[in-house]
A and B are shown apart, each in its own frame.
Chain A
């Protein structure tokens, strides 16, 4: 897998649609910004996961799905959903 920001956003929208039941077309992109995450798990480790303690650059993708805000974190190799209903997910 080698994602760019657009592809990561597309996959994030698809995931958001599946999770919320909102049509993918109705999901709005609020922002997709370059940022630096605290570790290799993009600061969104799933339960039991450990990660390298090196700052890692990527994209913070904020979506609106029917009034619900979802934060995705991505880099060329992974996409994660941050604190959705209190939990992180690796997509």
Chain B
């Protein structure tokens, strides 16, 4: 670079910083003139625990932008630099400290040279266990004493798990299941495969999960992040408050985890799709079932970091979503795909055509995303399930699914939330046999080994319901 060019670049950089500083000052003046809002709706504060914080936005600067430059821009806006999302070059979480609303902050950042996009940090809400429609079983140690054929697990509640073996129980259709029993002739899973459950955490002390929980191996150092500091992630990751404990205080995540990998053949409770697997809890929802896209992204960032550290996490199971699209979340999921991680997501429960009204994260058109619809015990598309011949890829059992819950209990629940971990679980079974399979091949295997069903023709792109037996090579 010659002297003239150097001077020109310096002048441009100075002008950008001065412009940003000016914008920040204007915002401060404007804020000082704003009337104070004194009216609050009934119960609003109780229901929105993040309301006390300033507006949070996710800002992506052009790849290659230096952290110093980003921090200087944030500082001139009088905002707080919250976190750098290392997995996505240039992605930053910022908290406003001027009392502005998120849309205003977004618009300000969009004016800054070098910003690719900015968006509000969106809230994500999960169910509270007390409000669930489903019922609760006892501790699970009971059940009538019966003998089990060799291929069947001796878990006493297995007879209620129609998704794994449908014998026509409770008015179902014989064989309308994922053919788990046949698959178990070939593999019952592997402890070398790690599935991340991105949810409300997991009750890792549940008796039917405890043996299949992931724990940070001794040779992997504690998680360290420039902004979050060092976190002892011995049991997984908690993005809600950056404490080390990803214990579930909602129930939804524990339910999803049990579908993937409640210990099979232990004479207790139920069996997961995998008898043996390692489940990594990623908590990004609080006890009220509320979380944010920023926390979801931080959890995905954590998974990518751990993958780079040698942890064999190959699947993220995501049983949540909305019709709101976040570019930042899409970028994080894409990065996970580049690290060899499949992202399985719920298609949604609005009985809608997702081709016309997309649902995210299931609706991201990315090579590592599988969108999952739900079927019932008669191999019909569940009445609540979203569908889409182009954008929903596969179906799996999602109505009246029995799985683990809080406090050592079990309960049935329904939704594409429950169908999603069925697919994540089968993905883990396939990987147990073929651990080096690429994401592209894994996705292709799952989508081409379905049981094609008339009810799903024109409803999901594969035209079928997942079949574990075919996926692992049995017929």
- By a CB distance below 8 angstroms, the chain B residues around A47 are 324
- By a CB distance below 8 angstroms, the chain B residues around A22 are none
Is the Cβ of A36 less than 8 Å from the Cβ of B133?
yes
Q: Of the candidates A14, A56, A91, which one forms a contact with B127 in the assembled complex, judged by CB atoms under 8 Å apart?
A: A56
B240 to chain A minimum Cβ distance, whole angstroms, is 15
Is the Cβ of A91 less than 8 Å from the Cβ of B42?
yes
B153 to chain A minimum Cβ distance, whole angstroms, is 25
The reply on B289 being an interface residue by CB < 8 A is: yes
Q: Decide: A54 near B125, CB < 8 A? Known: A1-B43, A76-B130.
A: no
Q: Roughly how many angstroms separate A83 CA and B127 CA in the complex, as a whole number? A: 21
Residue of A nearest to B127 (CB): A40
| B186-215 to A contact mask, C-beta < 8 Å, 1/0 | 000000000000011000000000000000
B354 to chain A minimum Cβ distance, whole angstroms, is 12
Chain B positions 92-137 with a Cβ under 8 Å from a chain A Cβ? 120, 122-128, 130-133
- By a CB distance below 8 angstroms, the chain A residues around B223 are none
- By a CB distance below 8 angstroms, the chain B residues around A43 are 350
The reply on B41 being an interface residue by CB < 8 A is: yes
Is the Cβ of A54 less than 8 Å from the Cβ of B415?
yes
- By a CB distance below 8 angstroms, the chain A residues around B126 are 40, 51-52, 54
Is the Cβ of A58 less than 8 Å from the Cβ of B131?
yes
Is the Cβ of B349 less than 8 Å from the Cβ of A1?
no
Q: Roughly how many angstroms separate A40 CA and B418 CA in the complex, as a whole number? A: 13
- By a CB distance below 8 angstroms, the chain B residues around A38 are 349-351, 384, 415
Is the Cβ of A1 less than 8 Å from the Cβ of B346?
no
A75 to chain B minimum Cβ distance, whole angstroms, is 4
Q: Roughly how many angstroms separate A50 CA and B416 CA in the complex, as a whole number? A: 14
The reply on A39 being an interface residue by CB < 8 A is: yes
Chain B positions 348-363 with a Cβ under 8 Å from a chain A Cβ? 348-351, 360
Is the Cβ of A90 less than 8 Å from the Cβ of B46?
no
Q: Of the candidates B47, B320, B324, which one forms a contact with A1 in the assembled complex, judged by CB atoms under 8 Å apart?
A: B47
Is the Cβ of B324 less than 8 Å from the Cβ of A77?
no
Residue of B nearest to A57 (CB): B133
A15 to chain B minimum Cβ distance, whole angstroms, is 6
Is the Cβ of A54 less than 8 Å from the Cβ of B252?
yes
A46 to chain B minimum Cβ distance, whole angstroms, is 8
Q: Decide: A53 near B349, CB < 8 A? Known: A2-B130, A77-B128, A91-B41.
A: yes
The reply on B413 being an interface residue by CB < 8 A is: yes
The reply on A30 being an interface residue by CB < 8 A is: no
- By a CB distance below 8 angstroms, the chain A residues around B199 are 52
B157 to chain A minimum Cβ distance, whole angstroms, is 19
Q: Roughly how many angstroms separate A8 CA and B348 CA in the complex, as a whole number? A: 27
Q: Of the candidates A11, A49, A57, A58, which one forms a contact with B124 in the assembled complex, judged by CB atoms under 8 Å apart?
A: A49
Is the Cβ of A53 less than 8 Å from the Cβ of B346?
yes
- By a CB distance below 8 angstroms, the chain B residues around A52 are 125-127, 199-200, 252, 285, 289, 319-320, 415, 417
Is the Cβ of B128 less than 8 Å from the Cβ of A50?
no
Residue of A nearest to B39 (CB): A18
The reply on A79 being an interface residue by CB < 8 A is: yes
Is the Cβ of A55 less than 8 Å from the Cβ of B131?
no
Q: Decide: A49 near B324, CB < 8 A? Known: A1-B46, A54-B417.
A: yes
- By a CB distance below 8 angstroms, the chain A residues around B123 are 46, 48-50
Is the Cβ of A39 less than 8 Å from the Cβ of B415?
yes
A11 to chain B minimum Cβ distance, whole angstroms, is 6
B239 to chain A minimum Cβ distance, whole angstroms, is 14
The reply on A69 being an interface residue by CB < 8 A is: no
Residue of A11, A18, A40, A58 contacting most chain B CB atoms (<10 Å): A40
Q: Roughly how many angstroms separate A51 CA and B384 CA in the complex, as a whole number? A: 15
- By a CB distance below 8 angstroms, the chain B residues around A56 are 127, 131-133
Q: Roughly how many angstroms separate A52 CA and B417 CA in the complex, as a whole number? A: 7
The reply on B238 being an interface residue by CB < 8 A is: no
Is the Cβ of B47 less than 8 Å from the Cβ of A48?
no
Residue of A nearest to B102 (CB): A48
Residue of B nearest to A55 (CB): B414
Is the Cβ of B414 less than 8 Å from the Cβ of A51?
no
Other contacts beyond A52-B285, A53-B416: 4, CB < 8 A: A40-B125, A52-B320, A52-B417, A58-B131
Binding site for A on B (CB under 8 A): 41-44, 46-48, 120, 122-128, 130-133, 199-200, 252, 255, 285, 288-289, 293, 319-324, 346-351, 360, 384, 413-418, 420
- For this complex, 17 residue pairs linking A to B, each with C-beta atoms less than 8 Å apart, are A1-B47, A38-B350, A39-B127, A45-B323, A49-B123, A51-B126, A52-B126, A52-B289, A52-B319, A53-B347, A54-B255, A55-B413, A56-B133, A58-B131, A75-B128, A75-B131, A79-B43
Among all A-B residue pairs, the 9 with the closest Cβ atoms: A57-B133, A50-B322, A52-B126, A38-B349, A50-B124, A75-B131, A53-B346, A54-B415, A40-B127
